Amino acid sequence: MSIEKLLEENKQKYEDELKEFLSIPSVSARSEHKEDMARCADWLKGKLGDLGMKAEVISTKGHPVVYAELIDAGKSAPTVLVYGHYDVQPVEPLDEWESPPFEASVRGGRMYARGTADDKGQVHIHMKALEAYREAKGTPPVNLKFLFEGEEEVGSVNLEPFIRDNADRLACDVTVVSDTPMLAEDLPSICVGLRGMIYTEVRLAGPRQDLHSGQYGGGVVNPANALAEILAQLKDENGRVTVPGFYDAVKDPSPAEKKAYAEIPMTEEHFREEAGVPAIGDGEVGVHFIERIWARPTLDVNGLLSGYTGEGAKTIIPAKSMAKISMRLVPEQDPNAIREAFEGYVRSLKPEGVEMEIDFYASGLPWAVDPAGPVFKAAASAVEGVFKREPLFIREGGSIPIVPMIEQILETPLLLLGFALPGCNLHSPNEWMSLDLYHKGIDIITRLYDELANELGE
């Protein structure tokens, strides 16, 4: 049977298995899901074994890594390392989901569930591509190594030592990562840049406990007011982050890349609608919105909590307040240097009368690559073969800290070829994956084996 026919006939089977994968609540951030994480890793190991791979679950200090190999293409064939992650973001607020986050539901050509796009659906594309290739054409012309981690959503803290310790085993000619969106359903794209990140939590403690706002108001520093005042000083009136030195190392995109941004067929109105916001705004004044979200650094408050947040009125001065704050970084900003500058600056804003604690939860380097050479040629051909049009080279505003890390340790090119879509509710309620792109992705990956063998083979 031709692979095209086989892919067509197996669509329902692939989707059913994906639903099974998505039904395991592999939320890495929550300790109550520790067993689900282990269960998900075991599930993967079983399915990878079914594909003829030598698969194992490898313990780390946190959630396990799933690793599998199929080294049957011969010594002269190139080796492809596929990275993905089987952990997902928390699902709160639960009441905003239209169908349960761990019971995948298909509506209007989309599959809805936590992890459809980020990243279980994309991990599954690689698994089904290998299955289809073997069934239709036999052993792929590339050696395959699959590395699926369980801690991407909590900063991949144990992955770097794992990769360093296993660099020989993971040696490859190219790493493929599918964890990003295409530009639009009909605009195939390959991602050549990512923002880095620092994630931090600032806590203020004032009174020993909540105080009556009448008896003490005007007499003691209010940690909620103080927090708002600190946060308001993190950006200036032009939307620029005020942390000292924040922009010093920022490298502008090339004039060619800036020109490409302006030509990308996405209007501000389309972006506004997709984001579901009353008006576009924020970010630096006078910078094109595509550049702002892809190639400019930013600072966002991700969460706020203080005092009484229930129904009605409670007249207290809160004992404490908390903000979660993340910064997105671009080449060549150094997360460690920014982290130090942030901490020093925020501490300098603390008023007397409250105590301050700052925690850093995660950080990741920014990344950008010049899409030249055989790897990008192979990828473009595979994509064009399915979409019948050349892919655009785009950036992505999110952060995949492991991308620059893997690239540096393994010293091989890295290809970011993702199949999600903008507006697919990553990290939000009602996350979805286009089933059309899911199946196109499987097709593209089977073609990528041939194209890479062609471009990189001896």
Interactions with a copy of itself, residue window 60-119 (CB under 8 A)? 89-90, 92-93, 96
Q: Enumerate residues 5-64 that contact a copy of itself by CB under 8 A.
A: 29-31
Q: Under rule CB under 8 A, which residues in 426-455 are in contact with a copy of itself?
A: 426-430
State in angstroms the smallest separation of the CB of 204 from a copy of itself: 10
Which residue, 90 or 371, has its beta carbon nearer to a copy of itself? 90
Q: Which is nearer to a copy of itself, 328 or 440 (CB)?
A: 328
* Contact call for residue 312 and a copy of itself (CB under 8 A): yes
Q: What distance in Å separates the CA atoms of residue 41 and residue 36, rounded to the nearest whole number?
A: 9
Count of residues in the chain? 458
Least Å distance, CB 182 to a copy of itself, is: 13
**Residues 66-89 as b or e (16 or more Cβ within 10 Å = b):** bbbbbebbeeebbbbbbbbbbbbb
Count of positions on this chain that bind a copy of itself (CB under 8 A): 103
What is the C-alpha separation between 261 and 265, in angstroms, rounded? 9
Sign of the CA dihedral with 59 first, then 47, 14, and 36 last: negative
- Choose which of 106, 187, 220, 250 interacts with a copy of itself (CB under 8 A): 220
Closest among 328, 277, 324 to 299, alpha carbons compared: 328
Classify residue 322 by its DSSP letter. Answer: E
167 vs 308, which CB is nearer to a copy of itself?
308
Chain centroid offset of residue 323 CA: 22
- 280 makes contact with a copy of itself (CB under 8 A): yes
Kindly state the smallest distance separating residue 225's Cβ from a copy of itself, in Å. Answer: 5
One residue of 51, 316, 346, 369 binding a copy of itself per CB under 8 A:
316
The stretch near a copy of itself (CB under 8 A) out of 55-63, 79-87, 129-137, 424-432 is 424-432
* Window 318-377: residues binding a copy of itself (CB under 8 A): 318, 321-324, 326, 328, 351-355, 361-362
Paired strand residues for 235: 241
Min dist CB 338 to a copy of itself, Å, is 15
Region 224-263 residues binding a copy of itself, contact defined as CB under 8 A: 224-225, 227-229, 231-235
Spatial contact of 365 and 335, defined as CB atoms under 8 Å apart:
yes
By CB under 8 A, tell whether 139 contacts a copy of itself. Answer: no
For residue 321, what are the contacts with CB-CB under 8 A and spacing of at least 6? 203, 204, 223, 224, 226, 227, 304, 305, 306, 307
Residue from 26, 143, 306, 333 touching a copy of itself (CB under 8 A): that is 306
CA angle 131, 134, 137 (to 5 degrees): 135
Q: How far is the CB of 322 from a copy of itself (least distance, A)?
A: 7
Are the C-beta atoms of residues 455 and 374 closer than 8 Å to each other?
A: yes
